[in-house]
Amino acid sequence: MRYRVQVAIIGAGPSGLLLGALLARAGIDHLIVERQSPDYVRARIRAGVLEQGTVEVLDQLGLATRLHQEGLVHDGFDLLFQGRRHRIDLKMLTGGKQVVVYGQTEITKDLMQHREELGLRSLYQVESLHIRGLDRDIVEIEGVEKDQHFVIEADLVAGCDGFHGLCRKLMPSHVLKEYEKVYPFAWLGVLADVKPVADELIYVNSPQGFALCSMRSPSRSRYYLQVASNDDAKAWSDDRFWSVLRSRLDAEAAERLMTGPSIEKSIAPLRSFVAEPMRWGRLLLAGDAAHIVPPTGAKGLNLAVSDVRYMAEALTAWFADRNDHHLDHYSARCLQRVWRAERFSWWFTSLMHHFPEHGAFGQRIQEAELDYLVHSRAAATSLAENYVGLPMAWS
């Protein structure tokens, strides 16, 4: 099977699917290539705190109907330290901005349904993928889909295949520069069909470690605990998880915490990572293929959305006049926002987590900074502005 398209999108996660929707609206012929099955893609559990700019992109595409019906609008969140909770009023501090809690899994389902309704082409369960000619006018992509060999010829390739994907690895070593910080702990996450302990998120700083109380719906909760980076989810029974979580909460939240059997339990390492540049030859990277943020600041999905928004604009302009300036500008435009989000995510992670090597002094410094945050409008405003999302210009 042979295909000729303008853009080949590698990866059918939210960034690849959203880029496909934006390109379809612009009339750009494209094809998505994904190594996993559609069911696997739909089932991936990810976070879902959406910035206002992300919601606006989905609104523009007409893909936010279910989000507005089922998403939970949050005007703020709580910081818990020294046994007391303090509210950060996002709406008041940012002039009316909010965030929406709507699981990334649900966004993926919405985007996949939209793609199916439009009859757009996607190749799933692809094996033996090879990409050649990124430094030439026409890129050739070869692989096997369900035992059938295929070749795709494309003008450009969008690498939306995640941190462990193929695309970033195709950039020459003398071109690619990588920046990385691996944190000495991980998050143990539990999903359970129990009522959330609070109406908004609670971020917990305690001498025993970080915790986060989140939710997916009024009846489904998502909780996280800071654990050792080499810990094993199998070592954590549900009873042990709930007991440790309760010990890190304030008295009121501990009393209100509802427990139940976990639907899903997993451990995720934390890292900060950036690859520069995000474009080489006919390849443009987006989302986790180019950068990773620790989940503390809820920036991963939102950064992917801003990437593909910028990419769709660059591709649309390039196909209009074939001027490489549009592609050249893409990387710098993305990276300015990426590094700002990296800074915020690193700072918030460093503030909220327990670092054993910092000792009791380090814990007290964290608590002093948190105390300053909740008593200084300027400091709280800076936190709120970054949390709801820095401007995502669409020029």
Residue 280 and residue 71: Cα distance in Å, rounded? 37
Minimal CA–CA distance to 72: which of 94, 103, 31?
Answer: 103
Selecting among 102, 183, 203, 223, the annotated active-site residue is 203
- DSSP 8-state class, residue 380: H
Selecting among 30, 97, 291, 299, the annotated active-site residue is 299
Is there a catalytic annotation at residue 74?
A: yes
Which tokens go with 100?
């929406």
Residue 36 and residue 22: Cα distance in Å, rounded? 22
Residue 339 and residue 321: Cα distance in Å, rounded? 30
Residue 314 and residue 266: Cα distance in Å, rounded? 37
Angle between helix axes 300-321 and 14-25 (nearest 10 degrees) is: 30
Is there a catalytic annotation at residue 30?
A: no
Evaluate whether 23 touches 312 at the Cβ level (below 8 Å). yes
Residue 258 and residue 31: Cα distance in Å, rounded? 45
Which tokens go with 273?
């990572």
Selecting among 102, 183, 310, 387, the annotated active-site residue is 387
Is there a catalytic annotation at residue 40?
A: no
Q: Which residues of 26-55 are buried (b: 16+ CB within 10 A; e: fewer)?
A: eebbbbbbbbbeeeebeeebebbbbbbbbb
Q: Beta strand pairing status for 262-276 and 177-192?
A: antiparallel
Residue 82 and residue 206: Cα distance in Å, rounded? 7
**Residue 309 CB coordination number (10 Å):** 23
Which tokens go with 358?
């910092």
- DSSP 8-state class, residue 23: H
Dihedral, CA atoms, 74, 349, 374, 215, nearest 10 degrees?
A: 20
Catalytic residues, which ones? 74, 203, 295, 299, 387
